[in-house]
Amino acid sequence: MTTFFIAVALLITGYVVYSKFVERTFGTDDKNSTPAYSNGDGVDYVPMSWWKGSLIQLLNIAGLGPIFGALMGALYGPVAFIWIVVGTIFAGAVHDYFSGMMSLRHNGAQYPALVGRYLGKTVQVVINIVSIVLMVLVAAAFTAGPAQLIAQITPLSFTVALGLIFTYFLLAAVLPVNKVIGRIYPIFGGILIFMAVSIAVMLLVSDYHIPNLTMQNLHPGDLPIWPLLMVTISCGAISGFHSTQSPIIARTLKKESDGRKVFYGAMVAEGIITLIWAAAGMAFFGGTEGLQGAIAEGGPAGAVNDISKTLLGTLGGILAILGVIILPITTGDTAIRSSRMMVMELLSKMKNSGGGKRKMLVATGVVTVPAIILATIDYSFLWRYVGWTNQLVATVMLWTATMYLLKNHQFHWMTGIPAVFMTAVVSTYIFYAPEGFSLDYHFSVGIGTAITVVVFLWYLNEQRKTKKNRAASRLDAA
């Protein structure tokens, strides 16, 4: 239990101390006009208070990720606590902050546009496709589960439930951000926090033992920690999905200094929620083997239901149902909204693409139709491809932020080191994982290491060129 308390304290300290260092490095200036005012359109660019933006951001980036991912990651044992803490403070929160603040500095630009600006147009084309595919996969994967549960507990069929959910998605995607998302998300964000805190309190006052840190791999299936843990626990440590969501809130900030509370703060809050659910998974079922049995029997949703009902009684059962239904839906709708915004940016570059409303409707249809089709197939199949795609997007965002800092002569190692680390994660994972090339583990690690070395050498070369250009500029100025 000592490890759990230390981990919580480190996450809070990370926000209090390291987030200020990140903010100083970026260089906020409240004299700058934010896109909420300079681009105000009453739909996407609408000023909102920082506390409301924080709760919306938390729900946008969280959903069931810090619950389901935490339970799956808890199968590895207390070593998961290390990844949650270190990943959140030095990778995930930094990633979220820069994706949000760079969007704010570039008039609310979407993630692919930022990538194109700092990594080149070729990378932008690829990441545009990858990002939109990720959004469609997330919307589909986070819709099938709730629709199935609604069909089980109500007279509605799965098809009708799916239709109702996607009808809501369409409304949330095209209506002004402060009309639907801005009104109901803070409430649901509060529910997510209340649920996690209640579980934590009951764990601590009840006769459950949260294990202390051990570096031993306790996964019953004997799966390797590296790099599977870093993909399994994504939303609770670092997630590329967040970089597609941050621009939604970046377009609503009233001043630049709100970014630390909204982007870095929301990620730390998600890290704490993930930590709580990982601890619950390890403690409630008496170890990783018991947790694996519970997941095998009823899936992560069943494990959440067991924990919630036992620890919180009737209230827990209600919260579990709300969580399994509402939280993924609130992730799916912002996935559709952000992908709609990406497609609109692409359409804006095309001639004869129609007016603003027509572009909005076309863009929404482009991403909604395939999401509906994919939502009817096996959930586990979808989720396998969400994980790696998600972390690939995160890696590219970190490299984008690194190039931004390099070009602005700032402390680029802040994002560069996490970018190198995540490059190793995604490079190794795709060769080893079943949804990838399914190669031998040690061979996959070797290939991943080689790719990472090549990318790191490119990074060092970019530093050299930047220093050379800076020195040349100084000579010209003299």
Rounded to the nearest 5°, which phi and psi values hold at 312? Answer: -120, 5
For residue 28 the two structure tokens come to 């906020």
CA torsion sign for 271, 277, 281, 282 is positive
Nearest Cα neighbor of 435 from 376, 399, 386 is 386
Nearest Cα neighbor of 242 from 234, 253, 254 is 234
- How many Å apart are CA 210 and CA 280, to the nearest integer? 8
CA torsion sign for 348, 351, 353, 357 is positive
Mean pLDDT in each 10-residue stretch from start to end of the chain (478 residues)? Answer: 94 98 96 95 91 89 82 95 98 98 95 93 89 84 77 85 87 79 80 86 90 92 94 92 92 97 97 95 94 88 86 82 76 83 76 63 82 76 78 96 95 97 97 93 98 98 89 67
For residue 148 the two structure tokens come to 């199935």
For residue 220 the two structure tokens come to 């019953």
Q: What number of other Cβ atoms are within 10 A of residue 421's Cβ?
A: 19
Place of tokens 């970014």: 259
- How many Å apart are CA 395 and CA 447, to the nearest integer? 17
Amino acid letter for position 224 = P
- The predicted structure's pLDDT at residue 394: 96
- The predicted structure's pLDDT at residue 19: 98
- The predicted structure's pLDDT at residue 464: 93
- The predicted structure's pLDDT at residue 382: 67
For the chain, domain boundaries = 2-381
- How many Å apart are CA 386 and CA 133, to the nearest integer? 9
Spacing of C-alpha 63 from chain mean position:
9
- How many Å apart are CA 154 and CA 219, to the nearest integer? 37
- The predicted structure's pLDDT at residue 379: 60
Count how many Cα atoms sit within 13 Å of the Cα of residue 389 in the half-sphere of its side chain.
21
Overall fold of domain 2-381:
Amino acid/polyamine transporter I (1.20.1740)
Kindly give, in sequence order, each residue whose CB lies less than 8 Å from that of residue 351, ignoring residues fewer than 6 positions away: none
CA torsion, points 77, 14, 416, 233, in degrees to nearest 10? 30
Helix axes 265-284, 181-205, angle to 10 degrees: 40
Q: Are 65 and 239 in contact (CB under 8 A)?
A: yes
For residue 150 the two structure tokens come to 């609604």
Place of tokens 């040349």: 472
- How many Å apart are CA 169 and CA 222, to the nearest integer? 40
